[in-house]
Amino acid sequence: MITENLQNIQKELPEDVTLVAVSKTKPIADIQEAYNAGQRIFGENKIQEMVAKYEELPKDIEWHMIGHLQRNKVKYMAHFVNLIHGVDSFKTLKEIDKQAKKHNRVINCLLQARIAKEETKFGLPFTEIKNILASEEIIELKNITVSGLMGMATFTDDNEQLKSEFSSLKKLFNNLKNKHPQLSMLSMGMSGDYQLAIENGSTMVRIGSAVFGHRNYTV
Ligand SMILES: *Cc1c(COP(=O)(O)O)cnc(C)c1O
């Protein structure tokens, strides 16, 4: 089932859109099946869970942290994490930089923008994203690169609303890219809304249940 789901999604995705297979809560065997089908990028939202899976699985997997970050746990993944999607403060960037430095690495990060109307979703207001990217202090963080932006849309069937949320982020992304050419990734779109996200400029989709099936508990 997983193999078939992956193949169907891959067929749909434009060539320049990256698929992050979101494997949170799913067992090693499921990830191994996706790996055997050719998938190499996996997303997790809990640091300990990602570390445990990293240790058991092939080392050519790229691990993406997509969840809300607890700063005190960044150190556990700093030696291997490939991309951190959900950075929503300068303080967190600083902590990632500090931990990356210990391993002599540069860690790619995405700033999470607040696009949803829901109160429960994390993310930075657009003005704060601009301020962080333009700040003097960020130049001193040699062990991180802000390589793009990430956003989570409102959980809704209202396509017009989704479209407006995705396109507002795309517009911000395009504007900022002129000044900050290191921005190359725009992570938006999940199982329920990735087609719309792609139509509105996403370059990276984070898909869980449409690959692995429904999760037993919500996280
Ligand atoms: C769980 C999760 C996803 C994937 O959700 P699905 O609806 O299962 O595709 C994507 N992004 C984030 C940040 C998540 O936490």
Atom of ligand 1 nearest to the CA of 210: 9
Query: What is the SS3 assignment for 111?
Result: strand
CA 32, 216, 48, 204 dihedral sign is positive
Q: What is the DSSP letter of 210?
A: H
CATH number of the CATH domain containing 21? 3.20.20.10
Q: Is residue 32 part of a domain?
A: yes
Amino acid type, 20: V
Q: Provide the whole-model pTM.
A: 0.96
In a domain, 186, yes or no: yes
Which protein residue has the closest C-alpha to ligand 1 atom 6?
208
Give domain status of residue 217, yes or no: no
Q: Let me know if residue 219 belongs to a domain.
A: no
Alpha-carbon distances of 146 from 27, 99, 112, 141, 186, rounded to whole Å: 31, 16, 11, 10, 11
Q: Which domain holds residue 184?
A: 2-212
141-173 confidence digits (pLDDT tens) = 999 999 999 999 999 999 999 999 999 999 999
Give start and end residues of each alpha helix (H) in 28-124.
28-36, 47-56, 90-102
Domain count for the chain: 1
- On whether the CB atoms of residues 94 and 141 are closer than 8 A, the answer is yes
Which atom, in ligand 1's list, is nearest to the CA of 206?
A: 10
pLDDT tens readout for residues 70-92: 999 999 999 999 999 999 999 99
